[in-house]
Every structure is written in C-alpha cells, then in structure tokens.
Amino acid sequence: MNLVRLTTGEEIVCKLEEDGDFYVISEGVIIVPTGDGKVGMVPFVPYGKGDPIRVKKQFVMFVTEPHTDIEDYVRRMLTGIQVPPKQGIVL
C-alpha cells in the first residue's frame, strides 16, 4: 500500500501503479481528520463506479508508505482481515 498526497491536499491510502503520465489508484480511501488528533476514512470516489481511478502525475505531490497502524486499519476495512499485533520474544 502507498500513501499519496494530491495537490488538492487529500491523502489517499491505496494500491498504486504507474502508467505513463498517470498513477492508477485502486482500493483507495481518503484520510479525513475528525478532531482531537483522530482520523476517519472514506472511499476515494464514494459516488463513482470506477475502480481503479487514473490520476495525472502532475496532481500528485508525493508518494510514501503509510504508518503500519493506518495500513492495517485500511486492510481490515477493505477485506475484514484482522492483522494480529506483533509479538515480542519473551526470554
């Protein structure tokens, strides 16, 4: 998964591929601040039928990896699969 910031300020957690002058975004969700340091998530294009969505590269400010907690939450939201917490080694 990737974290993509658009020139419009939206931050999208998604699967990302390159296609010439475009990025192809699939399974995208937008991170929305909800107050008190918390965030919510909504589908990238909630009213559209299309997935994946093509976005011109000129509208992307940066691409990076999301924080592990965000990635796990998005995976759980999209698939229902729970990611178990990492276990340390007990000596």
Q: Is residue 86 part of a domain?
A: no
pLDDT, one tens digit per residue, over 7-41 is 999 999 999 999 999 999 999 999 998 888 888 88
Total domains, the chain? 1
* pTM attached to this predicted model: 0.80
Secondary structure class of 15 (helix, strand, coil): strand
- Please give the angle made by the CA atoms of 33, 39 and 45, to the nearest 5 degrees: 75
Containing structural domain, residue 9: 2-79
- Domain containing 74 — which CATH number? 2.30.30.100
Rg from Cα positions in the chain: 15
Calpha distance 27→41 (Å, rounded): 12
Of 64, 57, 69, which is closest to residue 3 (Cα–Cα)?
A: 64
